[in-house]
Structure 1
């Protein structure tokens, strides 16, 4: 248990000393009053007169005379001593006074309530007399639910934890032991059954437990023997002694005979908290606020490991979606529950690792229970694109939710947009945070106040209402004081392009920093109505800029909603902003909102949830599981058709004459070209822009270069120009070197392995080069000076130590002897990873038996394959190679996205080929089985390692094509390999860890294989999905033995039909006998 540090606040000690000296008195009668006991996390100890478990504190009069506390104050803020004032109340000698720290601010002597609450994670607490002199103070640390903290004995200087709190009574010395409670099996997914044993170190403690989600009490079932579960069960347990709890509640959810394909969120709570007609939040979804928050234990399970587990509060989240069968939920982490924050990095998009609130989001209007056009990814798609342009998003990741023992479907874990979000994302603590949404402020510009007030918003809106923004001074004031126009513009473009018709009058969030940059910035939230609720030609631009009711666009439009378009309308009246808006829209349609890019974002999101969607649809009663795929295809259709419609609507809105193509070509020399707001990197590049709208083009030279001119002689020879298009245009910048400067550019660290690193850079003058490197900035090692003078340089440092940080700098010397050196840079070598290779062996597929092909695939993540040697294992039996016992090949290297490097050599047999059925010198048939047993393959890696092994056929891998076999060399002997030596791995050794290598070949058209290492026996489930989330084929759903295996797929669906060309996903789940679990997804490309 955490021990608390007690300290008196230094400023209060000085203040008290000053007043004592001033009065000439050493002790005052009031100083017999002490803070005697407190409970900062009260759940079940005592209830106030409202029936609520409020925090409380206790005063004790340790003197011999009564003390009138009228005018005394108590505070949890050292800088505000008079935070709460005592009424007329007298505390008799050796007596106790209970004060509720509830925040209710009631001066009734019979039921005293302060205007603050106690912080369960610890804080300051001080008591002052009417003159402001400190009477008693302390700083306490983190507290445990229903365990009080106080003086023992009463009035003494010693503080202890008390398992049995004693409000308004003498403190008792029953400090709890450091008791633990452990479960023998971690919560998670199991097949068949699981047996869980419970244990505690308390010498006399009894373990009480429940299997219903209810909180265990001293009266619930007593644990006497291990518990075996054959169906999904939530186990909650607690240790009791003498009827008193000795530990907090420990919860574990055991998911049996179910296979979630996402990270899992489990919520354990008393069923009444959800389903009771009087107090259940799920059956009373309109209940809001503290009164409708219920205690839970929540955990995230990923890859078989509990990533976090914490006590929390839960509420229903949302507005109109509260009536849906599948509701969004909100989690609160509070000291009241024993943990004031969730300390875990939940979202990969952000480095934030502390959260006070999270949302479990069932996309509003975009799920099977709420819409026939659901996809469950529309809101995440908008956020993903908004994030790409630097917008303020609510981070997201999907999970499979279990409420107690029930599977509840696919949810998105999200940040909640509130003051904590603003502080953690932007560091702003003094803010106005507003939301406009369906509710009490519906139909007015008055926002729902999440934080702060509406004073500055009223000023902002009034300025837009009352001022003509065509006046330059007014427009400048908007830019400098009222709106971050880059953010504002992108926010509107994203919603307009996505056809979000449930906006801007609804789901509009904005924030203003009251102590810094005053300009409002807009935050994306709840865009589930985008992308598929409307057709690709939806006039969202007209909707977002209307100045009159447009029931032709939305049937229930109303004049009271027109406030929401005022800011954009007024801004578009300004010519400078209008040009910016049009060009920024064009920039984004050519980049972030280009069909190819949007579909790529969509596919990534779909791939996240696709493996789980079949279970989601089954859970929520969808009879037609293909509806999700049809809805996604409708989104894809929208994505591809929307750009043309959007450009047409922009031309109609602003009276534009048409489009022209702008091309940016690779520059001569070193530099880049910026067009309006974008700087294309992959050149050549093309985009569509509006004729008649001036474009801004800027050429920026790299260091050591200067802009010379544009290749188009009709353009001004200036680095920054303004162009008005009346035709297609190609832009190429010409940069020349500044000859009096010798400099380095484009320094980068290339491939890094466990033993090597490649450094690449350029110099503007031809130079000889050298690298100094070492484990400190003093270096100590160097490469030889190169002998040739070049402008592009590449040096590989070899012989490095794995998992080690190295410093380096590059030295350069031109023909005149001038030197220029880089600044110190660093890289870290990769940890040592066993190398693995595999081979694919073919005999002439045309059955002419005239050549033999051996293709070697490098499955290492850290080392590149540089050379392959192939030899007949028994040269007397069959001489594969006429000119010696081995053949060495160093062909071009082929690579794909999964880091599989392949090399191949084709060997042609002399003397008429190898005939089927012929015999070798030992009388054995010349068939491929004979050949693969006798092929010795040696591979060389760029880090100097050399491995060798015999190509073994590990079982029948014949796929019906007699001309193709695949064998896995399983060379895992790298830890024993010394540089430059050869080691033959023992193929019979069991793998030390689970590993699924990338498939090879990839892309493929007849068959592909995944080398698979299983360190133990276990259940292996492997399923192929397409990018639409459809299950294509099941490769395995059975127990496998430990060892090295090969998983294969021939590109056929479950009915044996060859699938279409495209990208597919392998989703593999493995559960070992030890309870370990692995979930892996691999991407593969099939080409017919």
Structure 2
């Protein structure tokens, strides 16, 4: 007979917020949750006379059920959070379970080890075999109202005004009281008006605008609220003085310009600033006594991704004295939500978090260090993550605390038991952090029993004995993780380690070996010089105050394990070769710099706001510090290799070159398998390397290219000189075959064909308009198994037949079947110009309007068209560049059609010259031909047809467009001094650059509400300054600037993404900064 029992209902009591919610009910054959109360204020009390949360189970079946081994949880990643004892649930009976956190398995009064959150969360019931019996996620609840299945055992949920523990559910509750906002929280330019409403006819909305929690005497809402600056709005519905909803917090970021995703924190100011209870002014307070309630929201791309109640504490050690402090968020049922359920970090798929850190890197921020970058720790984690190391995931955010911008922070995972559970699924663990001056660890979780055993083994045993080293590898230390962790810190010259910021964990129930977690490496990359002897520091066996002034005997324990391991010859060889492998790959300068550049691309748009917020006057200091990191990255490898040679008595370096194989396969060198061949790496002479040939399916290893090497797939080579390695693979049969050719690229006049053969061979392609072909490429010059041939000088939009041929070293030939492809059609070009007239300073006219003179000029259009398609290419100083791409054929004629200049106001006669009397001509230049188009009487611009196509050498033509005069009349400045400013912009703004992507030049509009100093700087993604586009005083109005794609030396820069940083210092003292991405395509 099928049993039917379910989670039937629940009722909970929540600190600070009293709400109720349901649990689920399944009508299957397992027990379920019919109801419960999440905010149990007065409905029911436990044996301690406390109004704890409660959950009710209901057996809808006809047989009794023994719940021994069943589990219940509020954590999706921990289904065995609390286990039922042997307790029987009779047919049609109810069982009340207290969700109190008291963890009492007494059948007379069951208490789980977790509480429920009134704000809503997950609840699940599992069978002894781990199968889901009943589960669901519930939303926010209401005071002393249970929520559950109605009727019992059904799939329907309802609120129940009168909770009925141990009795059937009754549906007498009113609809849930709601509080709604007319505008979502987020970023707004210009004022925003917010209206609030409730569905309760007697409900009063009380609100605050300073972060305080609203109560019955707070401001009564009566009309929509308008905000013109950053404002936190907190509101709640009251009926006859009793709260009917939880606190709702919304942060409106108005007329501010964050450049990163946003973390917005709302909390009563006293929680931070009160002299007695404020955590910011009492930064050394620790533990739950110094945790304060907040509402936290994450806003990205204008959308609130999560909003949750939480607790907050000050995070860190010495950094607690800094003006800008790290913070720690706690998600608890006491606040209304036991876990945050959101994928916070793009590096990981993890989507459940108990705690998060808002990290202001210790000793690496503008408010506390002259060498700050705010990027050092993230750089270490980014690089080590590529290696496969254990990291605390990260992402930068703009933090708002109530109504204030608080700066650039990094969201981080906190290293604790929940981190280990979430990342590794390990629930029974020892988790330690090193403490200064003692080998006794700070116990984060578990105890020190196994650590004492591990350390004792190292102390009592000679690791030069192979059996002892095997014991270390198999029981005590995850050798690969340990080695990479030490190499990463040594290479980065982390001088605040290994005696500090050292985290490790051990699985009590599984693999017992200790593993190390990266954390707080803000003292790496540039705090020490590139020649810092960190390897010596990390392996010292005596006090070295010459390396660190405060070194002490009590710190030497932290180098002990590495020192003992390096006594073993096998490990020493592994350590040296692994170091070399990483310096040739992940730690290679270009690769580390690419990580730096990716992080800079995220940070740079926000860095100016961060520096301004924390009062750094010299903003260029950050750029200099970043350059110091970049210099370290490029200088460190040479010093590191010298130090390794010195430490281990090695004679020098040898270059290992891995050539593309004959046949199909790869080569593994020590711990790496290079992919892009040929490949070169630097290794240490006198240290044997291990090389392994890996044949692809269908192939077998035959021999190495060097006949002196053993004809074995895995060999050891003791390097004494440079060496080239090539593996020779043969097919497991003698058949000569090729793969199906593919078209990897096709344009209007070319096509690229790729295929492979199982033996090294020469290649040729036959092609033509029919299957008779008629044309062929020359035979290739080298024997290879990977073939790539490009056919050129093809006709556009044409069908071609082709087949490939191969010839091996024995002159055996094979060919493919006939295949076909069609070249692309020629797309009509969009070629045009929109004119901007710049006659120095005050006389500057851009696109359609000019705001800095009352005698405004309206230039409606200067348009070139092909087949009636339009586009715009903007320019400054009277010149635009029009570039045609190499499409293989000339395009249709491009005609200037009915181009009209409409003038309004006084002072702009038909002809114009600059203040030096030089004319500006509007010219279309085609090869040696020049056609000049003039203004005629100030109304109509005459047109002329010109051919825009490729030049004879196949390169794109460059077309110049210059502003022209008519009749020699000059545009003077008559009346300029007395002219009144008209329609000035009301706020600073940077318009999008056009075109983007661009080729020859790009231009952007700038709205200036007042006069001031304007600076425009172009950076590359490496953070290096390319050129100062402008640094000059600009008048109020709509201005424009152009970049021609050249650096400070006047050289064309390469294609790529560049950053425009615009800084405006108004005469009133206001300062604005904004960053834009520009895409240059050559």
TM-score under structure 2 length normalisation: 0.68
Task: Check conservation: 2:54, 2:99, Cα contact below 8 A.
Answer: yes
Listed as ranges, the matches of 1:278-289 within 5 Å are 278-289=276-287
| Structure 1 residue aligned with 2:669 | 675
| Structure 2 residue aligned with 1:715 | 709
| Structure 1 residue aligned with 2:884 | 856
Give the alignment partner of residue 1023 of structure 2, picking from 1028, 1053, 1063: 1028
Aligned-residue CA RMSD (Å): 5.6
**Which segment is superposed worse, 505-514 or 398-407?**
505-514
Displacement of 1:337 in angstroms is 2.9
Distance 2:381 2:141 in 1: 38
Give the alignment partner of residue 417 of structure 1, picking from 404, 415, 418: 415
Displacement of 1:937 in angstroms is 7.6
Give the alignment partner of residue 182 of structure 1, picking from 176, 180, 183: 180
Distance 1:866 1:294 in 2: 68
1:247 to 1:460, Cα distance in 2 relative to 1, 3 A: same
Secondary structure in 1 matching 2:366? coil
| Structure 2 residue aligned with 1:976 | none
Give the alignment partner of residue 528 of structure 2, picking from 524, 534, 540: 534
1:658 to 1:1052, Cα distance in 2 relative to 1, 3 A: closer
Displacement of 1:334 in angstroms is 3.0
Secondary structure in 1 matching 2:717? strand
1:83 to 1:497, Cα distance in 2 relative to 1, 3 A: farther
1:186 to 1:36, Cα distance in 2 relative to 1, 3 A: closer
Matched, 1:552 2:546: yes
| Structure 1 residue aligned with 2:492 | 498
Secondary structure in 1 matching 2:506? strand
Displacement of 1:524 in angstroms is 0.8
Task: Check conservation: 2:690, 2:716, Cα contact below 8 A.
Answer: yes
Give the alignment partner of residue 517 of structure 1, picking from 511, 529, 546: 511
1:869 to 1:411, Cα distance in 2 relative to 1, 3 A: same
| Structure 2 residue aligned with 1:5 | 24
| Structure 1 residue aligned with 2:693 | 699
Distance 1:1035 1:378 in 2: 31
1:306 to 1:11, Cα distance in 2 relative to 1, 3 A: closer
Distance 1:874 1:835 in 2: 15
Task: Check conservation: 1:297, 1:311, Cα contact below 8 A.
Answer: yes
Listed as ranges, the matches of 1:206-605 within 5 Å are 206-426=204-424, 428-438=425-435, 442-605=436-599
Displacement of 1:554 in angstroms is 1.6
Task: Check conservation: 1:743, 1:820, Cα contact below 8 A.
Answer: no
Task: Check conservation: 2:998, 2:1079, Cα contact below 8 A.
Answer: no
Distance 1:334 1:345 in 2: 18
Task: Check conservation: 1:37, 1:148, Cα contact below 8 A.
Answer: no
Listed as ranges, the matches of 1:608-687 within 5 Å are 608-687=602-681
Displacement of 1:102 in angstroms is 5.0
Displacement of 1:253 in angstroms is 1.3
Displacement of 1:43 in angstroms is 9.7
Secondary structure in 1 matching 2:474? helix
Displacement of 1:576 in angstroms is 0.8
Distance 1:449 1:746 in 2: 61
| Structure 1 residue aligned with 2:981 | none
Displacement of 1:544 in angstroms is 1.0
Task: Check conservation: 1:314, 1:329, Cα contact below 8 A.
Answer: yes
Distance 1:1038 1:314 in 2: 47
Task: Check conservation: 1:657, 1:692, Cα contact below 8 A.
Answer: yes
Task: Check conservation: 1:231, 1:256, Cα contact below 8 A.
Answer: yes
Displacement of 1:149 in angstroms is 4.6
1:958 to 1:568, Cα distance in 2 relative to 1, 3 A: farther
Secondary structure in 2 matching 1:422? helix
| Structure 2 residue aligned with 1:103 | 102
1:935 to 1:812, Cα distance in 2 relative to 1, 3 A: closer
| Structure 2 residue aligned with 1:148 | 144
Task: Check conservation: 2:43, 2:51, Cα contact below 8 A.
Answer: no
Secondary structure in 1 matching 2:893? strand
Task: Check conservation: 2:997, 2:1080, Cα contact below 8 A.
Answer: no
Deviations 1:255-279 (A, max 9, x none): 2332222222111111122222232
1:43 to 1:673, Cα distance in 2 relative to 1, 3 A: farther
Deviations 1:833-871 (A, max 9, x none): x9995668999xxxxxxxx9963369xxxxxx7866231
Distance 2:711 2:55 in 1: 81
Deviations 1:77-107 (A, max 9, x none): 89855699xxxxxxxxxxxx99892539899
Secondary structure in 2 matching 1:311? strand
Deviations 1:539-597 (A, max 9, x none): 21111112222222222222222222121111111101101101111121222222222
1:837 to 1:703, Cα distance in 2 relative to 1, 3 A: farther
Secondary structure in 1 matching 2:397? strand
**Across the two proteins, how many residue pairs are aligned to each other?**
866
Matched, 1:116 2:113: yes
Displacement of 1:792 in angstroms is 4.7
Task: Check conservation: 1:663, 1:731, Cα contact below 8 A.
Answer: yes
Task: Check conservation: 2:36, 2:147, Cα contact below 8 A.
Answer: no
**Which segment is superposed worse, 726-735 or 568-577?**
726-735
**Which segment is superposed worse, 217-226 or 112-121?**
112-121
Distance 2:630 2:547 in 1: 23
Where does structure 1 lack aligned partners over 5 or more consecutive residues? Answer: 14-34, 60-73, 85-96, 127-136, 770-782, 797-810, 822-833, 844-851, 859-864, 878-904, 940-950, 961-993, 1013-1019, 1070-1078
Listed as ranges, the matches of 1:682-1081 within 5 Å are 682-741=676-735, 761-764=755-758, 792=787, 855-856=883-884, 869-873=891-895, 908=927, 913-914=929-930, 934=945, 999-1001=996-998, 1007-1008=1001-1002, 1024-1025=1018-1019, 1027-1028=1022-1023, 1048-1050=1042-1044, 1065-1066=1058-1059
1:1001 to 1:740, Cα distance in 2 relative to 1, 3 A: same
Task: Check conservation: 1:607, 1:1029, Cα contact below 8 A.
Answer: no
Task: Check conservation: 2:664, 2:729, Cα contact below 8 A.
Answer: yes
Task: Check conservation: 2:22, 2:147, Cα contact below 8 A.
Answer: no
Secondary structure in 1 matching 2:385? helix
1:761 to 1:565, Cα distance in 2 relative to 1, 3 A: same
Displacement of 1:513 in angstroms is 2.5
Displacement of 1:380 in angstroms is 0.5
1:297 to 1:245, Cα distance in 2 relative to 1, 3 A: same
1:682 to 1:212, Cα distance in 2 relative to 1, 3 A: same
Task: Check conservation: 2:364, 2:373, Cα contact below 8 A.
Answer: yes
Secondary structure in 1 matching 2:439? coil
Where does structure 2 lack aligned partners over 5 or more consecutive residues? Answer: 1-19, 57-70, 74-79, 88-95, 127-132, 765-769, 780-785, 792-802, 818-826, 836-863, 865-879, 900-923, 951-957, 966-990, 1007-1013, 1063-1073
| Structure 2 residue aligned with 1:898 | none
Deviations 1:889-916 (A, max 9, x none): xxxxxxxxxxxxxxxx99645xxx3365
1:597 to 1:619, Cα distance in 2 relative to 1, 3 A: same
| Structure 1 residue aligned with 2:916 | none
Displacement of 1:1060 in angstroms is 10
Task: Check conservation: 1:432, 1:450, Cα contact below 8 A.
Answer: no
| Structure 2 residue aligned with 1:829 | none
Distance 1:398 1:835 in 2: 43
1:869 to 1:423, Cα distance in 2 relative to 1, 3 A: farther
Secondary structure in 2 matching 1:649? helix
| Structure 1 residue aligned with 2:1066 | none
Distance 1:46 1:317 in 2: 38
| Structure 1 residue aligned with 2:1070 | none
Secondary structure in 2 matching 1:914? strand
